Amino acid sequence: MDRQAHWQGVYENKAETEVSWYQDRPSASLALIRDTGLGSDARLIDVGGGASRLVDHLLDDGWTRITILDIAAAALERARNRLGERGAQVEWQVADVTNWTPPARFDLWHDRAVFHFLTDPADRVAYAAAMAAAVPKGGQAIVGTFALDGPERCSGLLIRRYDADGLAAEFSRHFEPVAAMAEDHLTPAGKVQRFQFCRLRRR
């Protein structure tokens, strides 16, 4: 499957509020980011941020060094258009995280619902390597996936589900678990999806 073509098509053909992962306020992510203790001058990357409204809330909270990475240019364009002039405050990168070299180090790595699409072990190894290269010692990462009792598919694709221990284990070579959080996400269609988040610290 051509991942980039798939996700480009999703964002070209569906409105922002038609995708199952849409959140007006990403409360779990914002709570976990707050719990890192990092200040708004920390450098943050949102992997798979796409058209997510997380960036809006981060800008509202005074964050000044935000990078959004997504495989679909259409998703990033949608977010830029929504932000208007504020979009110039954000660095936008179109890339597949499994084939990407971080251009800088980030105090915080955030990912809600990219990692669970990586069903190929080689892709998960590549993702973990990119995360380790991007986050320096003492830096933190927040990764959210479908929980063990969450959906088996998303956007027509099979996914890989996790509990807190299983998710932390994927990154155990370089990261230690700090906290975990479950979230019941209500989709725009009114369905509940169970998510599992982990907050990790770089050794």
Other CB atoms within 10 A of residue 186 CB:
11
**Global pTM?**
0.97
Rounded Cα distance, 35 and 72, in Å: 29
pLDDT at 192: 98
Rounded Cα distance, 145 and 169, in Å: 13
Radius of gyration of the chain (CA): 16
165: left (phi over 0), alpha (psi -120 to 50) or beta: alpha
Other CB atoms within 10 A of residue 199 CB:
22
Q: Which residues of the chain have pLDDT under 50?
A: none
pLDDT at 196: 98
pLDDT at 1: 67
For domain 3-202, give the fold.
Answer: Rossmann fold (3.40.50)
Q: What angle do CA 110, 175, 61 make, to 5 degrees?
A: 30
